[in-house]
Structure 1
Amino acid sequence: MNDLNGFTAEQIQRIQKNRERVIDSIGKNMDLYGITLSIGHLYGYMYFNNGPVTLDELSQSMGMSKTSMSTGVRTLMDLKMIDKVWGKGTRKDLYEVEPDWYQNFSDYFSIKWRKAIEGNMNVLNKALREIEEMKTENEANEPFLGVLREDEIKIIQALDYYKWLIRLIETLETGRIFDFIPKESDGAKGE
């Protein structure tokens, strides 16, 4: 957090304490979504940093091992919350936070939900294929076919839900979600 040059020690201390509160809040919020508290703190730290940082700088500033930093950075990159950027005159990788919280939310849930949905839909489709096989093998057993039809209806209802969820994900990915739920005004511009 290299933007505090020229301020008194008291001013720096107050700013840092205030930022630490916010960083802790970011970490706790991200923890609710399944991201570890330390990775949430890492994002929060990077959010307040003015410009890209190296793993060494992050490790030193946060008092964590370079291995932990690398894991955290990789997780945040996978979630599209930070980017690797180019820096003139440096050979080390530089990382910069994606400051758009709306985009971070959209990316995070799109990535997580899509992965879960694909797995769940594969299981449900396999179950439907097995039901079809059992129906063919047991055409004369009406009570058994009745149970299979009930299961088939329940599975189709679950698939309909996942298809709806895919459409929700697409509204997040395309930004159409903001047509339904507009973003708040830009507080930085005083709107």
Structure 2
Amino acid sequence: MEKEVLEELKQAESQISDRIADNMKTFGVSSTVGRLLGIIYLNRTPMTLDQLAEETGMSKTRMSQVMRQMMSLNIAEKEFVKGSRKEYYKVENDYIQTFISLFTTNWKEVVSKNSQLARRLKDKVLRLEEKHQDNFSPEAEKKIADLKEELEQWISYYDWIRRLVEFFESEDILKYVPPKKPSNDS
């Protein structure tokens, strides 16, 4: 009977891990990242690349690549285990912190790339205006004015996202949307 219970519990953990993997798509992150996040989280202790490779059936090289990606997303880190020369990895065990890390890491990159592009395009339009002063047709003048306005809106939009990211990173969001304590209902 205990064997059946343990098997059912293992299946439930597998479903949680699978759902975490599916949820990663929402953040633009591979399901492999989510799968490893779920495996390490449900293991409740740090794991080595060998353990992860065995658990997933993937190569140790692939596990190393995914762990580097997870560390760059701020959802995993190396942990020293006394008496072992192997590298162990642990994951953020707070779902809200994981969300904040994934949300902010991805959006910071989007903001950076788009803000740089907006600045380059704005400079390009200004150079065109300086180079061809007063030689524009009404149609070209309208296009320039429209593009400048669009770029200003774009810059404003990405500035808003940057400030939203800061709001999450500072955890001020938790003052306005506090997490509820888990109930102990069984």
SS of 1:96's partner is strand
User: What does residue 103 of structure 2 align with?
Assistant: 109
Which TM-score applies when normalising by structure 1? 0.88
Structure 1 runs not aligned, ≥5 long: 1-6
Q: Distance in 2 between matches of 1:13 and 1:128?
A: 61
- Total equivalences in the alignment: 183
- Structure 1 window deviating more from structure 2 (62-71 vs 163-172): it is 62-71
CA deviation profile, 1:90-145 (whole Å, cap 9, x unmatched) = 11111112111111111112111111211111111111111112222233236233
Contact 2:27 2:106 in 1 (8 A): no
Q: Distance in 2 between matches of 1:176 and 1:148?
A: 40
Contact 2:52 2:63 in 1 (8 A): yes
Q: Distance in 1 between matches of 2:129 and 2:18?
A: 56
* AA in 2 matched with 1:186: K
Structure 2 runs not aligned, ≥5 long: none
Q: Does 1:16 align with 2:10?
A: yes
Contact 2:40 2:90 in 1 (8 A): yes
Which TM-score applies when normalising by structure 2? 0.91
User: What does residue 182 of structure 2 align with?
Assistant: 187
Tell me the C-alpha RMSD between the 2 structures: 1.7
User: What does residue 35 of structure 2 align with?
Assistant: 41
Percent identity over the alignment is: 28
Match of residue 153, structure 1, among 110, 131, 149: 149
Q: Does 1:173 align with 2:152?
A: no
Q: Distance in 2 between matches of 1:186 and 1:75?
A: 31
* AA in 2 matched with 1:145: E
Q: Distance in 2 between matches of 1:186 and 1:40?
A: 24
Q: Does 1:126 align with 2:132?
A: no
CA deviation profile, 1:42-100 (whole Å, cap 9, x unmatched) = 11111111211111111112222111211221111111111111111111111112111
Q: Distance in 1 between matches of 2:93 and 2:107?
A: 22
